[in-house]
DNA sequence: AATTGTGTAGTTTTT
DNA sequence: CTACACAATT
């Protein structure tokens, strides 16, 4: 306890009764929580009675790891909300009308499901976009409004035409899910919440089982999560919640900041502890953060105190346009690294919308600054991965409609839309799952002979897979890939995209192999499927984030929560972007306050140096508009730096860069250049599969050079023309015999070896 | 069944 | 500007 502050110590040593820990940014919250768990166990609480809930897998992983390092033997259940609910639901599926082998739909499946349901209801997808309807349904679920409740409410008090539509779609969508023996993400929470409220004896036993419950980031809980936590803390209200209302940035997803604000009313004998000592940032940075957040009205007053030095003043960099902004940041970062004392990974760039990355990426590349973007297509969202996983899902849950429809004709088996529709309709009438229906395809009316045999062959194949499912997910996976010849058309293909897809499939097999060796129970298929839909790729990305020494990190402000960096840039602090125009449109003060909290989160990530940027003009969505100053600028204490005189890199310097690059490329013997011996990583997937790909400066193409284009494959540069941004390259491609001319700066061409 | 055209919408996204 | 869904082709 010696290494803790007074309030940290109080929180750690609290055992029985409700506890609210209001933890400011950088106040050592995670440390307090893990130490408290250890303390509970040391004080005689059986580990099996402790349940710690987080939002992200990463947080859960970290917490579990840290608890284990203090108490190696203790088996405390540390889990995310969704995983916890998935497990409970597995056990008690029948209570909500599901089978225990239910599958979890991801957002993609959800969308397709929504589209089909709406088509069946004859709703115009142009007027009522499935996306929006899905959003309405998700909101309802987060607010604990079931389909029945929604319909009832709508009938009682007629709403607008959107509600009328949702009242039609929501129940139909739920029916679709139930028939598929499937749930979506929101259902995991909703079902469990309903289950707990309708089955007192079950709630009772779970309350008793989990006597000590801890919830992290409580300010981000939605109504469903709130109810679940409450239900588990009735007889044994040893509930400890930690969070910071000032960091609540997920209101748009149904999170209720009120949950944490009213904790003391919910549990009148709650102890409240504030962690206000900040161990992360300089005084200057904290003062800015404090000054900004003080403008929010809906909040508990909280001071941020630090013993850290004053540090550099917070800067507002003003650029004339977004191009110069990107360029200016890249140059500053390079200069600071070259001046010594800073590594690339000391820097982070945050922005409100992903669309701002492009210009930044270009500028960083021009300045040879290695970087990674914490975004990109999630691994498990890739089409090829979802296809293969759909086979797995079908083996596990033959009623999974989304999975069935996804792969029944992939690769092509001559089972077109019409045949599929007939079979699905018949399966619905007969009340059998889709594999059973395919097995008995000859009984389905109006099916062509060819379709019948194709369906039967398909069913036979899935049946074989089920038999082969002897615990090893890897074996099952490889037999699926072989039997379906799924990757056949890509093998030996020159098209980069297809090679990538091949690699992704391979990566999935590796993941399965890994899973097999770590979890060796007979329910491994279930576990693997759960893992693949509840685990996000960024979880793996963040690991490499910590120990890669060599890259600047770019991410959205939302993604930045919980992280810290010595030097931080927050770009585009402008009206319309931050606050985002959609937050200002309704003129809802709550939304503006959330935008302010978002900036607050960004600011408090910085340890030593913080710069905000704004521009005079910004080209966005193909339009070039004058910028209006963000109201937040006046609320932050900062020093304005005029960078409007910044010029783009002068001609001579560009030329010099050009020449040195050419030289280096020759030295490298045609190999892709790697700067400072650090590979430049682009996407999360690259990080995940460890593929180190060098990114090249596009201007440096020369005649005779071998290049690769993601679409056209390998080719040779025949001519080059022009200079600077106007420089063009003409390439003769091998495979297709095509000759194409590209703008060197814009094309995705990459030099390759041999 | 794959290719090409057309329209349209466009934050943030822990699971 | 650009990604995506869907329609209309061939």
**Weakest-pLDDT range from A248-257, A344-353, A638-647:** A638-647
pLDDT of A743 reads: 59
Q: What is the mean pLDDT of residues A653-671?
A: 46
**Weakest-pLDDT range from A302-311, A345-354, A585-594, A703-712:** A703-712
**Weakest-pLDDT range from A270-284, A654-668, A689-703:** A689-703
Cα–Cα dist A583/A371, whole Å: 30
Give the 3-state secondary structure of residue A46. Answer: coil
The sign of the dihedral angle between the CA atoms of A556, A562, A568, A570 is positive
**Weakest-pLDDT range from A227-231, A384-388, A588-592, A719-723:** A719-723
Give the confidence band of A341 by pLDDT, cuts at 50, 70, 90. confident
Q: Which nucleotide's C1' atom has the smallest distance to the CA of A55?
A: B14
Residue A540, pLDDT above cutoff 80: no
Q: What is the mean pLDDT of residues A327-338?
A: 92
Q: Is A615 annotated in the active site?
A: no
Q: Which residue has the higher pLDDT, A379 or A48?
A: A48
Cα–Cα dist A373/A681, whole Å: 8
pLDDT of A648 reads: 55
Token match 């089920």: residue? A466
Read off φ and ψ for residue A557, nearest 5 degrees.
-60, -35
pLDDT of A537 reads: 57
Residue A297, pLDDT above cutoff 80: yes
- Nucleotides on chain C that have an atom closer than 7 A to a protein CB are 1-2, 5-6
Estimate to the nearest angstrom the gap between the alpha carbon of A610 and the chain centroid. 25
What is the tens place of the pLDDT at every residue in A378-410? 677 778 888 888 999 999 999 998 899 888 888
Other CB atoms within 10 Å distance of the CB of residue A248: 27
What is the tens place of the pLDDT at every residue in A543-557? 444 445 688 999 999
Q: Is A297 annotated in the active site?
A: no
* pLDDT mean across residues, chain A: 83
Give the 3-state secondary structure of residue A551. Answer: coil
Q: Which nucleotide's C1' atom has the smallest distance to the CA of A377?
A: B13
Q: Which nucleotide's C1' atom has the smallest distance to the CA of A746?
A: C1
Give the confidence band of A745 by pLDDT, cuts at 50, 70, 90. low
What is the tens place of the pLDDT at every residue in A582-604? 888 878 888 999 999 999 999 99
Other CB atoms within 10 Å distance of the CB of residue A659: 11
Q: Is A217 annotated in the active site?
A: yes
Q: Which nucleotide's C1' atom has the smallest distance to the CA of A558?
A: B12
Residue A354 DSSP label: G
pLDDT of A752 reads: 63
pLDDT of A708 reads: 66
Residue A622, pLDDT above cutoff 60: yes
Active-site choice (A30, A478, A662, A728): A30
- What is the distance in angstroms between the CA of the first residue and the CA of the last residue of chain A? 61
Q: Which residue is nearest to nucleotide B8 (CA to C1')?
A: A126
Residue % of chain A over a pLDDT of 70: 83
Give the confidence band of A668 by pLDDT, cuts at 50, 70, 90. very low
What is the tens place of the pLDDT at every residue in A53-101? 999 888 888 898 888 888 887 789 999 999 999 999 999 999 999 999 9
The C1' atom of C3 and the CA atom of A406 lie apart, in whole Å, by: 22
The sign of the dihedral angle between the CA atoms of A490, A496, A499, A504 is negative
Active-site choice (A58, A83, A597, A605): A605
Residues around strand B, C-beta < 7 Å? A 55-58, 80-83, 107, 126, 129, 185, 217, 220, 250, 252-253, 255, 352-355, 375, 378, 412, 414, 416, 534-536, 538-539, 555-556, 558-559, 561, 580, 582-583, 621-622
Query: How many Cα atoms are found within 13 Å in the side-chain-facing hemisphere of A352?
Result: 24
Residue A695, pLDDT above cutoff 50: no
pLDDT of A681 reads: 28
The C1' atom of B7 and the CA atom of A253 lie apart, in whole Å, by: 29
CA distances from A18 to A113, A299, A333 (A): 42, 21, 47
What global pTM score does this model have?
0.81
pLDDT of A670 reads: 35
Q: Is A163 annotated in the active site?
A: no
What is the tens place of the pLDDT at every residue in A416-471? 888 888 888 888 888 899 999 989 988 888 888 888 888 998 999 998 888 776 66
- Nucleotides on chain B that have an atom closer than 7 A to a protein CB are 1-2, 8-15
Active-site choice (A29, A168, A274, A596): A29
The C1' atom of B3 and the CA atom of A94 lie apart, in whole Å, by: 47
């Amino acid at each position: 306890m010696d290494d803790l502050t007074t309030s940290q110590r109080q929180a750690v040593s609290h055992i029985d009764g409700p506890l609210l820990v209001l933890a400011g940014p950088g106040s050592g919250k995670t440390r307090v929580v893990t130490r408290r768990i250890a303390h509970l166990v040391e004080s005689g609480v059986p580990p099996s009675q402790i349940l710690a809930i987080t939002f992200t897998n990463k947080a859960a992983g970290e917490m579990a790891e840290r608890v284990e390092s203090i108490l190696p033997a203790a088996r405390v259940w540390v889990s995310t909300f969704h995983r916890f609910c998935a497990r409970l639901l597995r056990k008690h599926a029948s209570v909500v009308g599901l089978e225990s082998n239910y599958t979890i739909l991801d957002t993609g499946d959800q969308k397709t499901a929504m589209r089909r349901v709406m088509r069946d209801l004859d709703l115009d997808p142009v007027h009522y976009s499935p996306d929006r309807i899905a959003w309405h349904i998700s909101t309802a679920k987060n607010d604990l409004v079931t389909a029945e409740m929604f319909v009832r409410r709508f009938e009682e008090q007629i709403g607008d035409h959107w509600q009328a539509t949702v009242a039609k779609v929501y129940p139909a969508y739920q029916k679709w899910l139930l028939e598929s023996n499937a749930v979506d993400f929101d259902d995991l929470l909703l079902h469990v919440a309903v289950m707990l409220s309708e089955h007192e004896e079950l709630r009772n036993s779970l309350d008793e089982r989990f006597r000590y419950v801890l919830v992290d980031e409580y300010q981000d809980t939605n109504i469903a999560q709130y109810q679940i936590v409450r239900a588990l803390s009735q007889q044994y209200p040893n509930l400890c919640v930690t969070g910071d209302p000032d960091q609540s940035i997920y209101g748009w997803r149904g999170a209720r900041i009120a949950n944490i604000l009213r904790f003391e009313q919910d549990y009148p004998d709650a102890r409240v502890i504030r962690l206000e000592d900040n161990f992360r940032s300089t005084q200057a940075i904290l003062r800015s953060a404090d000054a900004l957040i003080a403008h929010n009205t809906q909040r508990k007053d909280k001071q941020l105190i630090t013993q850290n030095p004053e540090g550099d003043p917070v800067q507002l960099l003003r650029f004339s346009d977004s191009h110069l902004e990107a360029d200016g940041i890249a140059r500053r970062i390079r200069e600071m690294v070259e001046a010594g004392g800073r590594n690339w990974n000391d820097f982070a760039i945050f922005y409100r919308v992903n669309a701002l990355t492009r210009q930044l990426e270009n500028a960083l590349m021009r300045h040879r600054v290695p970087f990674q973007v914490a975004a990109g297509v999630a691994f498990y969202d890739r089409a090829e991965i979802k296809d293969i996983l759909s086979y797995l899902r079908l083996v596990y849950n033959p009623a999974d409609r989304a999975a069935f429809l996804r792969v029944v004709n992939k690769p092509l088996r001559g089972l077109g839309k019409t045949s599929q529709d007939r079979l699905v309709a018949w399966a619905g009438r007969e009340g059998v799952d889709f594999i059973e229906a395919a097995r008995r395809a000859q009984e389905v009316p109006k099916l062509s002979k060819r379709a019948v045999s194709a369906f039967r062959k398909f069913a036979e194949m899935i049946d074989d897979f089920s038999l082969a499912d002897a615990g090893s997910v890897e074996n099952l996976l490889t037999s699926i890939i072989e039997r379906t010849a799924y990757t056949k058309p890509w093998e030996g293909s020159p098209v980069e995209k297809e090679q990538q897809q091949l690699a992704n499939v391979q990566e999935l097999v590796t993941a399965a192999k890994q899973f097999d060796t770590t979890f060796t129970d007979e329910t491994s298929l279930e576990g693997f499927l759960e893992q693949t839909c509840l685990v996000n790729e960024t979880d793996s990305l963040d690991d490499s984030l910590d120990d890669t020494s060599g890259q600047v990190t770019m991410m959205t402000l939302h993604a930045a929560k919980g992280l810290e960096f010595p030097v931080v840039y927050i770009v585009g602090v402008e009206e319309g972007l931050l606050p985002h125009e959609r937050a200002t449109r309704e003129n809802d003060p709550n939304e503006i306050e959330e935008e302010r909290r978002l900036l607050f989160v960004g600011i408090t990530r910085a340890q030593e140096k913080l710069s905000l940027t704004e521009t005079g003009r910004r080209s966005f969505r193909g339009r070039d508009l004058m910028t209006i100053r963000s109201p937040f600028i006046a609320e932050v204490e900062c020093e304005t730096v005029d960078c409007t005189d910044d010029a783009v890199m002068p001609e001579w310097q560009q030329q010099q860069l050009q020449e040195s690059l050419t030289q280096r490329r020759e030295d490298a013997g045609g190999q892709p250049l790697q700067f400072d011996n650090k590979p430049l990583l682009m996407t999360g997937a690259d990080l995940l599969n460890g593929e180190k790909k060098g990114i090249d400066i596009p201007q440096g193409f020369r005649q005779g050079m071998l290049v690769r284009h993601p679409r056209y494959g390998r080719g040779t540069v025949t001519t080059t023309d022009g200079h600077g941004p106007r420089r063009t390259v003409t390439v003769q491609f091998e495979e297709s015999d095509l000759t194409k001319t590209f703008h060197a700066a814009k094309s995705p061409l990459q030099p390759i070896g041999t």
